[in-house]
Structure 1
């Protein structure tokens, strides 16, 4: 199957996704041509597949360059992705100060992921002066756009009353919305609320979802927390979490 990528097709994310599913290598070639023609959406997606090695040889350094090119055209998502490269050292040196600047530009454009990533640095003082209040505002703005990870963190601020009045009811609602949005930390938070209410079966369902999606750091912390649960059914989930860690190659 041949691909002929026109500008209007580059702007169609669903179509690009289908192309990558059907023939990743041919889609990558088409994206490379479109990116070279200055189409920002193609530059962004090309950078992503270069990071992932999907349909093209993995090349984080080249991905980083394409994100920079797209960012220079004013793309908020490109600023965010370039920030990710700079923060984590993908394709070059770590530069958290420059990463924070890129995240800020994405956040100022209203991009949910930019708001979330910038908030993470503001909350910890990495690459930028620590400012938990500003971090909370960014998390809230992203959460109100439907960003699931920000929803969970906003819930934590509200539950603990950190830099805002405590509002446990609102916190629990944000946990639920985060869980429904697919964030594994939100699923774990929501499960904790349900377990405390005695809704053990519902809690177990969310814990199983978090188990499947969670990364090693999360699973380690979650397993330790589950071992302290009062309900035996919830406590038993700790073993499943530790088993999953073993499958991921984490030494226990």
Structure 2
């Protein structure tokens, strides 16, 4: 089973930072306007997502003392996306934001302190900040402080206090706390061992989005701990979690939800081929989709290469569903060399065009990319 789950250090990969000093005079727009401009670039409502442009606007708002802008810049600097990574500068930004008292900002500051701590004094500082916001009912802070108390990091070990914090956060539906509490019941640590209760907690945590809980629930079913022995279900759970014996289950091959399924009769094929060769992006997309269905990994190399060419023409013509499907091929290296930067650039363009599902796919791929890859993809998408 997995260890008690800590938060991802600082924040998950978010966006690149390229502060362009002096590009926007501080008095050229209000703080509210600067924040609106920044969020438009973050959310892709001002064209393809551009974290560098967002960072420029956040810098304007942060200069006026805006806590949200300070916190965003702390996140950017901590990850080093678009600039040289600078944890010390990030901590300064987080501290400035946290000084204004908003619980989410205090929590982010605590996470950054915990992730960069080199001694017990720094860990103790993080624990005090976690406690400050945990006492307000902040479930993530309760879960984080619980882990520190359980492990005795920066505080005296106290499994009972850790359990109580996990219980409070679990009542709010916090996935990490539900999983950690399940581990306590599975081990009989600070509670009486209860495999059935552990399985219920893992199931609830999995429902709340925890991959660790899916794996832990798989362990329960594989061994018959508190649930009926079911190895097939266990391995399905492992696949869904993306670990122990398989990759995460993939989505169906993306299609344009506005279109009816393409016909496959002889006349349908002839009509579609004529339209595709004449430059119709919808026909080219449908021809490629059929060539790759239902499993693009199983497509013959020649068919995959032809589908890629069709999709490239349709994507270049501005057809968003083709951009998404082309990104799938580039992400997985199907019929083309694997290229996450190119895949992400197409997803960002599709998202900017309002294509359904493009945002979620872009976020999932971004979480696996390096800062340099993210910056390159955003630059390419803006061209």
Relative to the length of structure 2, the TM-score reads 0.49
- After superposition, the Cα gap between the structure-2 partners of 1:188 and 1:14, relative to the gap in structure 1 and judged at 3 Å, is farther
* Alpha-carbon distance in 2 for matches of 1:10, 1:107: 28
* Alpha-carbon distance in 1 for matches of 2:170, 2:119: 31
2:231 corresponds to which residue?
200
Query: Structure 2: 5+ residue runs without aligned partners?
Result: 1-23, 248-383
Q: Deviations over 1:147-198 (max 9, x none)?
A: 2121111112233343334443332111012223332321111111222233
2:102 corresponds to which residue?
75
1:124 corresponds to which residue?
151
Decide whether the 8 Å contact of 2:178 with 2:201 is kept in 1. yes
* Alpha-carbon distance in 1 for matches of 2:33, 2:132: 27
- Which of the residues 99, 115, 120 maps onto 1:88? 115
Which protein has the bigger helix share? 1
Tell me if 1:209 matches 2:240. Answer: yes
Query: Structure 1: 5+ residue runs without aligned partners?
Result: 213-222, 224-236, 241-252
* Alpha-carbon distance in 2 for matches of 1:190, 1:127: 31
How far 1:93 moved relative to its partner?
Answer: 10
* Alpha-carbon distance in 2 for matches of 1:37, 1:46: 13
How far 1:25 moved relative to its partner?
Answer: 0.6
Higher RCO by CA contacts (8 Å cutoff, separation 6 or greater):
2
**Larger radius of gyration between Structure 1 and Structure 2:** 2
- Which of the residues 8, 30, 43 maps onto 1:18? 43
1:217 corresponds to which residue?
none
2:179 corresponds to which residue?
152
Q: SS of 2:154's equivalent?
A: coil
2:216 corresponds to which residue?
189
Decide whether the 8 Å contact of 2:31 with 2:60 is kept in 1. no
1:100 corresponds to which residue?
127
* Alpha-carbon distance in 2 for matches of 1:117, 1:184: 18
How far 1:66 moved relative to its partner?
Answer: 0.8
Decide whether the 8 Å contact of 2:139 with 2:168 is kept in 1. yes
- After superposition, the Cα gap between the structure-2 partners of 1:210 and 1:105, relative to the gap in structure 1 and judged at 3 Å, is same
* Alpha-carbon distance in 2 for matches of 1:82, 1:36: 19
- After superposition, the Cα gap between the structure-2 partners of 1:172 and 1:13, relative to the gap in structure 1 and judged at 3 Å, is farther
- After superposition, the Cα gap between the structure-2 partners of 1:57 and 1:39, relative to the gap in structure 1 and judged at 3 Å, is same
**Greater shift after overlay, 48-57 or 173-182?**
48-57
Structure 1 runs of 4+ off > 4 angstroms?
3-6, 8-16, 90-94
**Greater shift after overlay, 6-15 or 91-100?**
6-15
- After superposition, the Cα gap between the structure-2 partners of 1:16 and 1:23, relative to the gap in structure 1 and judged at 3 Å, is closer
* Alpha-carbon distance in 1 for matches of 2:40, 2:167: 32
1:35 corresponds to which residue?
62
How far 1:56 moved relative to its partner?
Answer: 4.3
Decide whether the 8 Å contact of 2:114 with 2:123 is kept in 1. yes
Decide whether the 8 Å contact of 1:26 with 1:55 is kept in 2. no
Decide whether the 8 Å contact of 1:151 with 1:174 is kept in 2. yes
* Alpha-carbon distance in 1 for matches of 2:191, 2:38: 38
Relative to the length of structure 1, the TM-score reads 0.72
How far 1:11 moved relative to its partner?
Answer: 8.5
